[in-house]
Amino acid sequence: MLAIGLSALAAGIVLAVLGVASPRTMRRRLAAKVAALEAYGRTTVSSGPEDQATDGLPPLLARLRAVATVLSPSTVTTSLARRLDVAGNPASWTVEKVLAAKGLGLFATAAVGLLLGLSSPVSALGFAGLGGLAGFFLPDLLLYNTGGKRQAVIRKELPDTLDMLTVCVEAGLGFDAAVAQVGHETKGPLAAEFLRMLHETQLGQSRVETLRALADRTTVAELRAFASALVQAAELGVPTGRVLREQAKEMRVKQRQLAEEKAQKLPVKILFPLMFCIFPALFVVVLGPAAISMFQSFQ
């Protein structure tokens, strides 16, 4: 019985090996894998921004997002994604949520305007239209304001960060190691951008691609020029330390020129507050007693 059992087990193993190794079985398995990959590709393609827009949104907000999408240009998804990149992709801010906020602002402010203009139909329609327009573009304004403040901070931090990056590279660190050092030792949006560029490089992208992506995520002309210079240096084989040194010097010069430009604009900016706020009060204090005395003398 033991011999019969061992013989049956050996025969089963041989048949299993032959079945696995047979060309027909291999073809069937390969066909199944190809079909699974094709099904996954179709799912990925079909689940674009329009199909995934309702993910994570309640039904009401999903409908408001659909209304905002219909009322917006066809490139609204791309433009909002770029604005979110410029703003640093704030926590819990997505393209779908911004569109939902636009739709919610449209109806909410239109209802408020309608209530304010109940005295007459014309005023009700006017207030509702103006309120709906303001509420629809309010999320865009907030997003633009957030991005502008962040880019101003990046412009302010850029010279010091480039000096630190230059010192690290000239001290013997590689460019990626220097970027990591600067990103971990400093705080702020520029450090976050450098760390994101480093993570993209670690995920397999080339340095040229990450630098171009960095330039696309910012509106600061100095940072875009810095990224372009590093891209050209990488393509032409120029030493990175030399490029960083020249870019740091140029950033210092531009920072000084920007400070001088702001100083030259200051007299013009202070002129109107001086004329309409300070001069009238000064005239009242200086000429007021004289005017009172003249008025009393003519009585």
User: Does residue 150 surpass a pLDDT of 90?
Assistant: yes
Q: What is the DSSP letter of 276?
A: I
| pLDDT tens-digit series, residues 81-98 | 999 999 988 877 889 999
For 50-82, b/e burial (b = at least 16 CB within 10 A) is eeebbeebeeebbebbbbbbeebeeebbeebee
Mean pLDDT of the chain: 79
**Taking the CA of residue 40 as centre, how many other CA atoms within 13 Å lie in the half-sphere pointing to its CB?**
6
Closest by Cα among 128, 163, 189, 179 to 244:
163
Of the two residues 83 and 50, the one the predictor is more confident about is 83
- Taking the C-alpha atoms of residue 237 and residue 234, their distance in angstroms, rounded to an integer, is 5
Where do the domains of the chain lie? 59-149, 152-257
**Could you tell me which of 170, 157, 110, 114 has the C-alpha nearest to residue 138?**
110
Residue pLDDT, tens place only, 194-251: 999 999 988 888 888 999 999 998 999 889 988 999 898 888 888 888 888 888 888 8
Q: What is the pTM of this model?
A: 0.68
Q: What angle do CA 89, 91, 93 make, to 5 degrees?
A: 65
- pLDDT category at 56 given cuts 50, 70, 90 is low
Residue type for position 249: K
C-alpha 181/C-alpha 237 separation (Å) is 23
Question: Rounded to an integer, what distance in angstroms lies between the CA atom of residue 288 and that of residue 268?
Answer: 29
Q: With 80 as the cut, is the pLDDT of residue 32 above it? A: no
- Whole-number pLDDT of residue 151: 93
- Fold classified for 152-257: Receptor-associated Protein (1.20.81)
> Looking at residues 134-153, what average pLDDT do you find?
92
Residue type, 64: L
Q: For residues 17 and 53, what is the distance between their CA atoms, to the nearest angstrom?
A: 49
The reported pLDDT for the residue numbered 255 is 85
Mean pLDDT across the stretch 177-182? 90
